[in-house]
Structure 1
Amino acid sequence: MGAGHGHGHGHTPGHASSDGGNRTRLLIALGLASVLVLAQAVGSVVTGSLALLTDTAHALADASGLVVAVLAATLMTRPPTSRRTWGLTRVEVIAALGQSALLVAVGAYTAVEGVRRLIAPPEVASTELLVFGVVGLLLNLAAVAVLASRRTANLNLRAAFLEVLNDALGSLGVVVAAVVIATTGFQRADAIAALLIAALIVPRAFLLGRDTLRVLLEFAPAGVDVAEVERHISALDHVRDVHDLHASTIGSGLPVLSGHVVVDEECFTGGGAMPLLDQIRECVSSHFPVPFEHVTIQLEALGPGRPECPLAHCARPPETAHR
């Protein structure tokens, strides 16, 4: 029996420095979101606008989500321990799931209240609504600019970016509704804008929730077919069988792979086990859309009673056959 483990160096002190930069961006966005909540809360009372009230609730959800995002970014910098062997990497996934749930709740409330106001539209102060809408739009655009460059760093930042982007679109809807009411007197424009904001929020929230659940339920990383990984390993020289192959994601940018590989007994007697492990790690780390940084392979010698893999005697495919 033999075991091998390999990993890259993407989660070293440089990674902690990157998390510190992410945390700074989140803190700036949180400050802007807090000012926005106060301004729009006052504006929703003054104008009586559902669109602005919805945008205020959305901004409050943003601010709450950003508080969680800042905490997650802070906790993620803590190193692994003997009890938390992966550290707190998965905190960002849990934080993103909580934020998606908040957005779904805001969208559901807006849909119900928007339909009610379509039936019986109240009077909305269009001038004041326009002022508060423009203020909200400017603050949201500033938050979008702060987070845009790091929006793909992890699920936590992706969730935060989507929230402020959706809120910016919501503020734009408020501005448009204010202009329509001021120029035409069509009061239902406020409720329509609120429903459009909800339509922007909910689908993106569901997509974010789906991606976080894929991580928590330990699905294979997106774009990785485990059966194809198994075929690649099976095609290597001296490999007779591959079983118990598992691929999952611990957190953003941290895919892991483990499995058992049955090889010719001569690999152990002739000193070929370690070179074969290196070949397997090289294959799975460079030939697939997601490079596996943490690979754990258990080698097993082919013995009596073990079936031969049907690919064992196939010639190894040329390098161009790997992706």
Structure 2
Amino acid sequence: MSPLRVAIVGFGKIARDQHVPAIATTEGVELVAIASRNASLPGVPHAATLDELLHDGPEIDAVALCTPPQVRHAQAAMALAAGKHVMLEKPPGATVAEITPLVTAARAAQRTLFATWHSRFASAVDPARQLLAGRKVISVKITWKEDVRVWHPGQAWIFEAGGLGVFDPGINALSILTRILPQPLFVTSADLAFPANRDAPIAANLALSDAEGLKITAELDFLQTGPQSWDIDLDTNGGPVTLSMGGARLRAGGAQLVDAADAEYAGLYRRFRELTATGESDVDLAPMQLVADAFLLGRRRTVEPFEDVP
């Protein structure tokens, strides 16, 4: 079988740190081009825009869209119209509704649309799902706190409308939660802290539930200095269960069950390769819907302005 020839569109920190090495170590996937106005990779053909790449670049089978979510819909539609498979970095777009026409376009073109949730591919997530399948979950506490200046330096788009703010990392926790729990979840309340000079929140506290009244709380913060916190603590009828380090570690019954190196993006590309072999799509919008509902229900508080350089 011929390798899947992939072009990365948007070449920022995540593309460099995660997508490039994942492609390099995934059998049957090959990086053949970069499209970016501001960055390139030595030895890899480069175009300034996706349009230029599609018209004048090397032959490709698929694009991985790593651009800000505000522009992803138009790029995905262009790539699908050109007969290319499309991988969407998370979140899949700036809104929930804009993804549905892309699903329709992918089906019509018999091409794959893959809305990725990389945290679901963390090493401990599926083991946690299997463990919880035999237990009753009593309550859940999410603590997802990181330093935006470390992980998104100079990326002003993340605090613009459609950029999600603290929900850019926070949606990772929600993607894990909607994977490991068996019933659909919904937001019951939200408190959102907006810097006075920004259009997206820098912190949030959420309450969620399911049809059986499960109590779920989430504390999200984009100003955490020192050790970073990416933890999901579950109280179950079989004792406490903890997913930590963004889903890389699983602890239950006083024992460390999983403690593995980061393999999330390699898992994404293996899945993308599987999907493109048949033209099947994989688009789960549950995490995005929870974020949208948090914005709908959220009580907005204005806090001090945020500057990228403290």
The TM-score normalised by the length of structure 1 is 0.23
> Which protein is bigger by CA-based radius of gyration?
1
Q: Which has the higher strand share?
A: 2
The TM-score normalised by the length of structure 2 is 0.23
Q: Which has the higher helix share?
A: 1
